[in-house]
Amino acid sequence: MRINRKEFLSGTFLSLVGLFYLLYGLITLPVGHALAMGPGFFPLFLSGFTIVVGLAIAAQSLATRPSGPASIASARAIIFVSLSIIAFATLMERAGLFPGLLLALGLACLADARVPWTRIVAISVALSTLCTTIFRLGLKLPVAVIGPWFGG
Amino acid sequence: MELLDQLSLGLAVALTPQNLLYCFVGAVLGTLIGVLPGVGPLATLAMLLPITFGLAPAGSLIMLAGIYYGAQYGGSTTAILINLPGESSAAVTTIDGFQMARRGRAGSALSAAAIASFVAGTLATILIAVVAGPLTELALTFGPHEYFALLVLGLVSSVALAAGSMLKGVGMICLGLLISLHGTDLTTGASRFTYGLPELRDGLNFVAVSVGVFAVSEILRNFEQTTTSQAPVIAPKGVWLSRNDFHRIVGPALRGTAIGSVLGVLPGGGALLSSFVAYNVEKRISPNAAEFGNGAIEGVAAPEAANNAGAQTSFIPMLSLGIPSNAVMALMIGALIMQGIVPGPEVATRNPELFWGLIASMWVGNAMLVILNLPLIGLWVKLLKIPYSVLYPAIIAFSCIGVFSIENSTFPIYQVGVAGLIGYLLIKLEFELAPLILGFILGAPLEEHLRRALLVSGGDLTGFLHRPISATLLLVAAATLATVALPTASTWRGRVFREQ
């Protein structure tokens, strides 16, 4: 059976998301009825509709030819970009704006496998300084430059 | 005449030193970031949204609008100079614009783009001023049934005219609507999908989701290319148009404006579709058709006029009806909501200085772009040489800090990460992202109008069909869905969006 795998995955993904909202909504929210819509009314019909659309997409994939392989970003890129954002969110208030930026930018630079470490340090320091200046000194963002972890 | 009164109010607002400054900053920032390789206008707007929150609503929208058409202009600049459109609606400009640059006529191409855009911007502003008022008055007569139907039609047509599979577009709208459910249901006060987390009681942060979905996913997408060729930048030598050039661009600019104005108002249309159609129309009727593809100046003027007109007229549904016709307008609506303004026809009557001030400042912004950018070409050319390895960490840093500054909370930053990953997954699965944001923005009003409509008609769903306006709107929505699903329509759409 010729199947377009990407389309099939897309449809399945959408249906699964819809299913999650459907089940979680049914369990946690009262639905009410048309005259007095409960908080679960709209989610019920919406998630139901989403599941149908997802199934339709998946069904359509059974009739289309498979498309060629798609390029995808390296796992390294995905991991380090995500880590960078998470690190910043976790550390910014505790370590301070400047240290948080240093770490986040360093991690972000690591996403690119080709950049030499000297450049990573240079970019991180430069951009951290720039951002701290703009946001803390320039726009008076209410966050410590050096946070409680380092005695700020 | 009432229109003149309204326009003078608008100009009075737009020409205050403060708003002039915001317009200027917006236009410069927008052009700057529009010129930078690898950063699109949606990512730019989402990233810079937090900066505007400290400003008054009028100032904030004026700056955002300035960023928007500044980014458009920056995108055209890269299209002409390095054959890489800074954003999708400049894609058509690369065809003849880059060819002109290769023949040493980059300056003329840039001037043609700037002047055509300015003409389009001026005429489009007048059109907006004329149409927005009456449209708003019409919308004020709408009841919840009509609003609901209008929102449905807006959502459906936004995927009908845009690129990508329509079914998947509808799927994305649904996903956007679903994620808008998180938080507190305003009418009943119930917490929905908050998983017990108090931070989620206000729902997902709109800016965080937008930044993640547009900016972060774009960064991940840029990591797919294993080879980065720094394209040679062809520096323009002068920016004047010869008399002959000038005569040649008048017609295309005017025709492009007309096409863009019409297509821009339609949801899902906007700048991209307008530029494609304008280019093809011009090619068909031009006496210099043979030159197209090899550096015909009409091939630059027409799409540039069209995409600027389209970009501006896409403000009309947003300003008068509160309906975003594309992702950019969704971001504008998000900005309005965060300023505490409920988008819709009441904006014209309750905040006339915002409404007319924004319209007037669009013209001011267009003028600024022409005056400022042509002399600043040298600066933009230098910016083109910034390597992406420096840019993307900066984008991440700016985005995270910006998102933090909205509520001084780090929780939304996590949302950026999650949204970025999901956004990238959706891109890989070939889903379009714009309908997602549209659904996210319109979820709350859609449910609200449905609730009120059912209340008014006593729980009767056929109430939608008994009222002529809502019935018509819903029928048009259904017809749009049906027509676009036809095989002939899909080949036409395929051809329009693959024109190269």
CA angle A13, A15, A19 (to 5 degrees): 115
Look at residue B491 in the predicted model and tell me its pLDDT. 60
User: Are the C-beta atoms of B241 and B290 separated by less than 8 Å?
Assistant: no
Look at residue B82 in the predicted model and tell me its pLDDT. 77
Residues of A in contact with B431 (CB under 8 A): 10
Residue B469 has pLDDT above 60, yes or no: yes
pLDDT tier for residue B500 given thresholds of 50, 70 and 90? very low
Average pLDDT on B46-69 reads 86
Residue A132 has pLDDT above 80, yes or no: yes
Burial group, residue B20, by CB count within 10 angstroms (0-12, 13-18, 19+)? middle
Residue A24 is which amino acid? Y
Interchain contact, B193 vs A25, CB within 8 Å: yes
Residue A105 is which amino acid? L
**In this predicted model, what pLDDT tens digit does every residue of B73-104 receive, in sequence order?**
888 888 888 777 767 777 788 888 888 888 88
Residue B163 has pLDDT above 70, yes or no: no
**In this predicted model, what pLDDT tens digit does every residue of B244-272 receive, in sequence order?**
788 888 888 999 999 888 888 877 666 77
Look at residue B81 in the predicted model and tell me its pLDDT. 82
**In this predicted model, what pLDDT tens digit does every residue of A36-91 receive, in sequence order?**
778 888 899 999 999 999 998 888 888 777 777 777 878 888 999 999 999 999 98
Mutate to test the interface with B, among A9, A16, A46, A121 (most CBs of B within 10 A): A46
Distance from the A82 Cα atom to the nearest Cα atom in chain B, whole angstroms: 6
Cα(B395)–Cα(B366) distance, integer angstroms = 26
Residue B497 has pLDDT above 70, yes or no: no
Interface A:B, Cβ pairs < 8 A: 178
B423 touches A: beta carbon within 8 Å: no
Q: What percent of chain B has pLDDT over 70?
A: 91
**In this predicted model, what pLDDT tens digit does every residue of B318-371 receive, in sequence order?**
888 888 888 888 888 888 888 888 888 888 888 888 888 888 888 888 888 888
Mutate to test the interface with A, among B173, B174, B424 (most CBs of A within 10 A): B174
Average pLDDT on B126-145 reads 86
Calculate the CA B85 to chain-centre distance.
16
Q: Would strands B191-192 and B183-184 be described as parallel, antiparallel, or unpaired?
A: antiparallel
Residues of A in contact with B460 (CB under 8 A): 34
pLDDT tier for residue B197 given thresholds of 50, 70 and 90? confident
User: Are the C-beta atoms of B352 and B52 separated by less than 8 Å?
Assistant: no
Which of A6-20, B37-51, B143-157, B392-406: highest mean pLDDT?
A6-20
Average pLDDT on A9-34 reads 89
Residue B125 has pLDDT above 80, yes or no: yes
Look at residue A64 in the predicted model and tell me its pLDDT. 73
pTM of the model: 0.83
Q: Would strands B183-184 and A36-37 be described as parallel, antiparallel, or unpaired?
A: unpaired
Residues of B in contact with A118 (CB under 8 A): none
**SS3 call for B192:** strand
Q: Scanning every residue of chain A, which has its alpha carbon at the shortest distance from the alpha carbon of B412? A: A89
**SS3 call for B420:** helix
Q: Give the least confident one: A11-20, A82-91, A141-150, B382-391.
A: A141-150
B406 touches A: beta carbon within 8 Å: no
Cα(B123)–Cα(B297) distance, integer angstroms = 21
Q: Could you tell me where the DSSP H helices lie in B83-195?
A: 91-102, 106-140, 144-160, 166-179
Residues of A in contact with B193 (CB under 8 A): 21, 24-25, 28, 43
Interchain contact, B389 vs A119, CB within 8 Å: yes
pLDDT tier for residue B157 given thresholds of 50, 70 and 90? confident
**In this predicted model, what pLDDT tens digit does every residue of B304-315 receive, in sequence order?**
999 888 888 888
Q: What own/partner pairs with CB < 8 Å and gap ≥ 24 does B460-465 have?
A: B460/A34, B461/A34, B463/B145, B464/B145, B464/B148, B464/B149
Q: Which of A36, A88, A142 sits opposite B400 (nearest CB)?
A: A88
Residues of A in contact with B200 (CB under 8 A): none
**In this predicted model, what pLDDT tens digit does every residue of B206-221 receive, in sequence order?**
888 988 988 888 888 8
Mutate to test the interface with A, among B205, B226, B401, B455 (most CBs of A within 10 A): B401
Q: How many CB atoms lie within 10 A of CB A143?
A: 18
Look at residue B239 in the predicted model and tell me its pLDDT. 66
Please, what is the average pLDDT of chain B? 83
Residue B499 has pLDDT above 50, yes or no: no
Residue B434 has pLDDT above 90, yes or no: no
Bridge partners of A36, per DSSP, are A33
Tell me the residues of chain B between 219 and 238 that have a Cβ less than 8 Å away from chain A: 219-221, 223-225
Residue B17 or B381, more confident = B17
Distance from the A146 Cα atom to the nearest Cα atom in chain B, whole angstroms: 15
Residue where the block lists tokens 């919840």: B144
Question: What ipTM was assigned to the predicted interfaces of this complex?
Answer: 0.89
Average pLDDT on A99-104 reads 89
**SS3 call for B201:** helix
Tell me the residues of chain B between 24 and 53 that have a Cβ less than 8 Å away from chain A: 51
pLDDT tier for residue B316 given thresholds of 50, 70 and 90? confident
